[in-house]
Chains A and B, each alone.
Chain A
C-alpha cells in the first residue's frame, strides 16, 4: 500500500510535447510509471516521448480512450489553471500540477472547482509524488528513494530529497513522498496527507517538512494531536528568514505573528511532533521514533 498513486495509476501528461513534459515523461516511464497518454491541444493523433505515447487534443478524449485516472501537468503558468480545471471536469481523480508561477487569483477559483468536483489536486509549484518502486509522478529523482515504511510530506522540493536521503542513510525506506508545494493556495494540504498516511497500513511513521508563512503546519499538527497514532518527525525551514521578505516560494513570507519558524516549531512540539531544530537531524530523529 501507499498513498495517492501506485503501480495501477493510469497517468496522462498534460503538456507532454513541451520540453519539460517530454524530459520528465521519459524519466517517469523509466521509473515504471504507467503513462497511458498525453494531452496537447492541436496535436491529437501524434505520438510523443520517442513515439511511445499517444497524444490527445483534450483531457476528456484521453480519459475516454485510455481510462486514465491520474494527470500530471507541465504547462506554462498562463494556461495552468485552465489545465487543472479541464482535468477536474474530465473526471480525473488525482491531478498533480508541477507548474511554478500560477497566478494567485487563478488558484482561488481553481480551488473552488476542484473542491466542488472532488478532484484531488497536488500543487501547483511542487515536485510531485513518488510511491517508491511503483509510480513517480513529477520531477523528483527516483533513485534516491528506497522502499520502506515512512511517509514524507513537504512544501519544498530539494528539502524533500534531503530528508529522503537522510532516511535512507539511517536505514529507513519510504512508502510515498508528497511534495505539496509552497504557494499560498495549494490543492492538497499537509493535514490531508497526514490523514492519508494514518489510513495507509504500510506507513508506520511520517516526516513533515514545512516552512515559514501560512498556517498549514499548525493545522496539520492540531489535527495530528487528536487523530494520529503514528509517530511524526517535523522540520520547519526559515528560522533565520527576516519578516516581510519572500523566500523564494510565493507562500514563504513571514507576515503575521504566528507564521514564523519559531512559532510553528513550538506548536508542532506542543502537539507531540518531534521537531528537528537542525535540518541535518531529520533522519536521525525519525529513526529514534521508530525504535
Chain B
C-alpha cells in the first residue's frame, strides 16, 4: 500500500511520491547483524518522543551483499580508515608535542562517547559533535591546527573513536539546554525545502521501506556514522550525508559544522535512541 496522507494529497509531491515510491520491497528485512560473533541490535521500539512505533538501522534496508560487507571487520573497507587513525592516535602533532594518546592513553578510554553525541558543551554554550571535540583537543591541548570537517584525518579519527562504542545504545540528552536544539532540529526535519519541496520526513518517516526509483528508503538513522558508502568508495560524515540529501531535493545545503546541521544531527540522533552504534557501517 502506498501511504498518502491528507496533507500530501493536496500538493504535487503526493503525485511524485505515489508514482516514484513503489511498495515492491516494502519493509526492512529480518536479517541479523552479527559482527565478530557479537549481535548488534538493528531494531528497537521507538523512543517515546518518536512518531514511529519501531526504529530500524539502515543496515536492514540494504542488499545481502552490502550487509555482508559489514559483518566481518576484515572485509569492511571502513577498517582501512580505522587502521590509519590508530596510527594518527599515537602520533604527536602541534606545538605541545602531544598525541591523542598523551592524554587519553588507549582509545578504548573513549568508549561510550559516540552514543551520547552531540552533547551539551558548557564551554561553547551549544551542543558539541565529535568533530568539535576533536578539534578542541587539537587546538587547545596539542597546539595543532584544526582539521577540516571532511578532512580524511578527521573522518578516520571519528571512525576510530566511534568504533569504541560499537554495540552501545544511542543515548542522547534531549532535555535541559539541549531541548531548544532538539526543537530547532525538529523544525528542520519537517520543513519542506528545495525545488522538489521535500522535507526529511517525506522520505524517511512517511516512506521508509518503500522504493524511490532503485533505492530502498531507510529511516535515515545515523547510528552507523561515519559510514563507508560504496558510492563514495570511502568514509563520510553525518553532515556530508545531510548535504547530499539536500542536494538531491534541489535545496541549498547548509554547511558542514553549521548550527543547522548540528541541530539536525542532535534531533536525528534522538530519533534513533536505543539503536546500537554501528560505526563504521557500510551502505550503498
> Are A and B part of the same complex?
no
